[in-house]
Amino acid sequence: MDKTKLAKRFQCKVAIVTASTQGIGFSIAERLGLEGASVVISSRKQQNVDEAADKLRAKGIEVLAIVCHVSNAQQRKNLIDKTLQKYGKIDVLVSNAAVNPSADPILQTQDSILDKLWEINVKSTILLLKDIAPHLQKGSSVVLISSVVGYNPPPIMAMYGVTKTMVLGLTKALAREMAPKTRVNCVVPGFVPTRFVALYATNDAIREGLEKKALIRRLGTTEDMAAATAFLASDDASYITGENLVVAGGMPSRL
């Protein structure tokens, strides 16, 4: 795709993207920025946000880079406050932060890991939206990021998959609660070879097996997910809310 020919659907819009210094989150921030948004990127480490901001600015994107661990209440507040101080409004929130610290079966997963999965993958989105909702513009958009494993959690990612199932339900519930001022939708990625799923990207046998499950016969790219997110966040999707958009190349994706 020639990114110089992208539509400018986010001119004069302000978009916050969490966990946005690499992988899917970075590509989402890049896509929104190339379409005209002022993007607020964040992650847990100062070096990471600085490096990501430099890459985006090199492409002519207006960026505010802020350290934010989404489970930290003060850092969430700081993310919102600094965005409002600089831009005066918030039009788009993309909640992308997630962790998968264990490959154990659910009934063998440590209590602390269960707490972390809930806290980062689900609760942090709720708490961030509690803080940010009063500041969202009329006609604003929230996009949550789930995963195709939320429809049928595999053994090696079972509890992670269950938290992503929760995100599918959260999308439906929040869409009703935040309407009509704000639309809430969800992008459901298939397998995308990022650092987050390095096992699948580096093991040839696993990768080939996943590719065969996709009707399109390839894994997804971060740009695929960014394009879907940009659509849902834009006014092109102004009559869409409460939907979970599967972007998985035709992989099985229904409960």
Catalytic residues: 160
Between strands 182-189 and 244-247, the pairing is: parallel
CA 109 to CA 111: how far, in whole Å? 6
Give the contacts of 52 (CB within 8 A, at least 6 positions apart): 20, 21, 22, 26, 29, 41, 43, 65
Q: 25 is written with which tokens?
A: 């989150």
Q: 27 is written with which tokens?
A: 């590509």
DSSP string, 135-148: GEEEEEEEEEE--G
